[in-house]
A and B are shown apart, each in its own frame.
Chain A
Amino acid sequence: MAGEANKKQKREEYRKSLSKEQQKLALPKKKFYRQRAHANPFSDHSLTYPASPASMDWASYYPAFVAKNEESEYVATQPREDTLAVRKLSKAVEIADIGCGFGGLLFALAPRLPETLLVGMEIRTSVTEFVQEKIRAMRSQNVSRGEYQNVACLRANTMKFLPNFFTKSQLSKIFLCFPDPHFKTRKHKARIVSTTLNSEYAYVLKPGGIVYTITDVEDLHNWMVEHFVAHPSFERVGEEEQEKDVCVQVMRTETEEGKKVERNGGHKFVACFRRLEDPTWP
């Protein structure tokens, strides 16, 4: 895309105009990263993703959380032929923001949950790059407090590759904030919530884990509620419990889309779903 190349060039020019020190601290400018709104979740894209969670190099994303003694351990053990040798983290990623966009939720949650690793997953390349740049800058701005070391963003098509990143029951929270509505019936399979896809969310969530959803499109809200409650692995979280959850407040106010809806005086529909224990075998 010509526009893409153009934006990349402008980004570079902007960077070069800054001093070394400024480069480290300056927040990226959104205007250089905007991208066509829709990416087709069915098409191949030249995505990179690990063959399995064991071969995912999380250490590069969370350098402050690399396990101690990992270095020596890692030399001693022979890498299995199917997995690349990767440095391990002292803890696993627990929160995923699916379709994180420009990352508003991540930047709001990260300082509130300093001991928890959060990851944003976004299918659009330059939007992902924006969030990655911003994480770099936020880390540099907050070196003394060590903030934002627990947040990362990566490019992924979560509708296809969620199990490549996360093991069974790894996550405690999944956020689906203002997903693309895909209004046309013909495109419903492109929706990020469906009966069959919900099985994958159930797979990566631990029992008791929560899926958070928010949207300003009432039809989509109804759709998400219908499909999660119809799925035997989920139950809807009651209103009272929902409103007590600090994550719900953050999700309402801190996502880019949430702010946009606020400005336009739109309505926001929230629903949360708890992952139930698997039933015993028949």
Chain B
Amino acid sequence: MAHPYQCIQVCKPDPQNQEKWMILGACGPNVVSCISNGITAIWPMQNDRFKEDDPKEPPGKKLKLANPTEERPNVSQMLVSSDSQYLVTVTAEDKCVHVFHITADGHLQELTQRSMPKRPCAITLTADNSTILCADKFGDVYALPLLPSPEEAEVLPKPATEAAEATPQKTFIPAATPLTVHSGRNRKALEAQLKQATQQMKTKEPLKFKHELLLGHVSMLTDIAYATVDPQEAGRQPRNYILTADRDEHIRISRGAPQSHIIEGFCQGHQEFVSKLCLIKPGLLVSGGGDSHLFVWDWLNCQLLKRIDVKNRVLDFFKDHPQYIATLEGQEEINIAISGLWAIPGGESKESVLVACEGVPALFHFMITIGQADPDVCHVLPLVGNPLDFAMLDLALDGIIAVVSVDNVHEPGSTSSRRQGDRPSRLQLFKINSSERWESYSGMTETLQWFSCEAPGGRAAGGEATAPGQVTVEDMSAGAGEKVMRDLLYGVENLRKRAGADE
């Protein structure tokens, strides 16, 4: 039995053929893909061959290719550009941002690896797909060009020796002195300062690639969103915003680059960490985290519109499914931790959001009514395991298809007990029926057979190994590997502050 998919993305790789879909899953250290025509691939293993006979690849690149028996860092984030041309992933242990080109026939070609100074916690892309925004554990947001310039591509990836030889920059000589700034207060000076500051922070090796520090919190960042809003005024350019959430209950609204140093406001009200931001439509934000409620915001005006009770829906779900009740026993104070929020295109007046809570084997679909007294309707979608990620495909024939990655290794309702008995498939598929309810969907089951049930997770950092004929998840002792997997799948509740961890 294979490692579950900690991340799932879907895309339409061929602009000429909208019926062709591709599902990408991060499975431990591997990226697994499956195309509608049944072709499957695993990165990096299968791609090794692919790259070997591609003469255009710079020769240095092969050095970087992972040896399948070697321990490799786990994929913690995955994002496909809105034009389906590129896949961006983050690997956790080495803090690397990877960019792949997705070819029309569904192959992944790795273009760059950039190692960040601090562990990236969330990534997003600007609306034009030109820039990656990377939010890290130390609270900083960096902008990286999606594709490095040709000169940089020469240097990247650099052999290990070169990196070791890079001389640390010892003294901080500011690019902008008080004098220069008075004469020419401009963005250039700031940029230079920011670069210097970054290099200062990370004493050993200045980053070798183009990157710009856009903003920073003094708190671990948990999510980031990029929004473009049309001010609806003649002659006004669309405005770009960066929304950032942190472990200290903040949601910050900043302007987009080059004015990202300007904070427009904060959406305040959360009492616990914020873990997820979800833009439902241009002016409407839903946020969730360690609180019992979701918060719905008119974020351009930093106004709270309403709060939606999730915790009681979760408790209702557990009451209706007493088989999971054991996990609730003895816990006086039950906390929920929002691990996923996804906007679902809804009917006319209704906005809707799909919600996942860590360790709860269901998805909660809320229809949000704004400015009306009627309660928010919630449809519960029970799952065979805890939800890990979700993606949505729009098919001409069948409409909207939900692809849910479920935990096939732990008991549903638990983030730590191993499953007894049969293991389910790693994917569950649903479609929205005519009455806007989810029903299970089997239209893609055959094509996805290998992807959902067999694709191996490879040998991940922490000792996980699931290639056929090798050690399987079952054999893995409840040791380091188990902990690595649990951290990879269930990191959200850990964001909660513990009383007394202090002074």
Q: Do A and B come from one complex?
A: yes
Stretch at the interface among B34-42, B143-151, B189-197: B189-197
* CB <8 Å contact, B265 and A168: yes
Please tell me if B483 contacts chain A, counting CB pairs below 8 Å. Answer: no
Q: Which residues of A contact B237 (CB under 8 A)?
A: 281-282
Q: Are B140 and A196 in contact, CB atoms less than 8 angstroms apart? A: yes
A51 sits at the interface (CB 8 A) = yes
From known contacts A44-B497, A51-B268, A236-B178, infer whether A230 and B193 are also in contact, taking CB-CB under 8 Å: yes
Residues of A in contact (CB 8 Å), total 49
In the complex, the answer to whether A199 meets B263 with C-beta atoms within 8 Å is yes
Contact B248 A195 (CB under 8 A): no
Given A160-B248, A196-B140, A200-B263, A232 contacting B187 (CB threshold 8 A): yes
In the complex, the chain A residue whose C-beta lies closest to that of B203 is: A185
**Residue A161, interface by CB 8 Å:** yes
Question: Which residue in chain B gives the minimum CB-CB distance to A53?
Answer: B268
Q: Are A278 and B197 in contact (CB under 8 A)?
A: no
Chain B residues, CB < 8 A from A42: 218
| Residues on B with beta carbons closer than 8 Å to the beta carbon of A235 | 182, 185
Q: List residues of A (64-91) whose CB comes within 8 Å of B's CBs.
A: 81-83
How big is chain B's contact interface, by range? 35 or more
Chain B's interface: helix, strand, loop or mixed, by majority? Answer: loop
B334 at the binding interface (Cβ < 8 Å): no
Measured CB to CB, the nearest residue on chain A to B262 is: A278
Q: Pick from A197, A198, A231, A279: contact of B218, CB below 8 A.
A: A197
B269 in contact with A82 (CB, 8 Å): yes
| In the complex, A159 has a CB within 8 A of chain B | yes
Q: Known contacts being A163-B266, A186-B203, is A233 close to B502, with CB within 8 Å? A: no
Residues of A within 8 A of B497 (CB): 44
Among A17-25, A106-114, A221-229, the one that faces the other chain is: A221-229
Q: In the complex, what distance in Å separates the CA atom of A189 from the CA atom of B220?
A: 13
B255 engages A281 (CB within 8 Å): yes
* CB–CB A230/B248 < 8 A: no
Q: Which of B249-297 contact A (CB under 8 A)?
A: 249-250, 252, 254-255, 258-259, 261-263, 265-266, 268-271
Do B176 and A226 touch across chains, with their CB atoms under 8 A apart?
yes
Per the bound structure, the CA–CA distance linking A222 and B415 in Å amounts to: 50
Q: Are B502 and A46 in contact (CB under 8 A)?
A: yes
Bound-state CA distance A233–B255 (Å) is: 13
B-chain residues with CB within 8 Å of residue A281 when the two chains form the complex: 231, 236-237, 239, 255, 259
A199:B215 contact, CB within 8 angstroms = yes
Chain B stretch 202-251: residues in CB contact (< 8 A) with chain A: 203, 213, 215-219, 231, 236-237, 239, 248-250
Does A164 reach chain B (CB closer than 8 Å)? yes
User: At the interface, yes or no: B65 with Cβ under 8 Å from chain A?
Assistant: no
Interface membership of B66, Cβ < 8 A: no
Whether B176 pairs with A230 at a CB distance below 8 angstroms is: yes
One of A39, A82, A195, A233 near B193 (C-beta < 8 A): A195
In the A-B complex, list the 7 residue pairs whose CB atoms are closest, starting with the nearest. A196-B216, A52-B268, A230-B193, A229-B181, A203-B263, A159-B218, A82-B269
Q: Which residues of B contact A (CB under 8 A)?
A: 138-140, 174, 176-178, 181-182, 185, 187, 189-190, 192-194, 197, 200-201, 203, 213, 215-219, 231, 236-237, 239, 248-250, 252, 254-255, 258-259, 261-263, 265-266, 268-271, 304, 307, 497-503
Known: A163-B263, A230-B193, A281-B259. 13 other contacts (CB 8 A): A45-B503, A46-B499, A51-B249, A52-B266, A189-B138, A194-B216, A195-B216, A198-B261, A222-B174, A231-B261, A236-B178, A236-B182, A279-B262
In the complex, 15 of the A-B residue pairs with CB atoms within 8 angstroms, ordered by the A residue number, are A82-B269, A159-B218, A168-B265, A188-B197, A189-B138, A194-B216, A195-B213, A196-B140, A196-B216, A197-B218, A226-B174, A230-B189, A231-B261, A232-B185, A282-B259
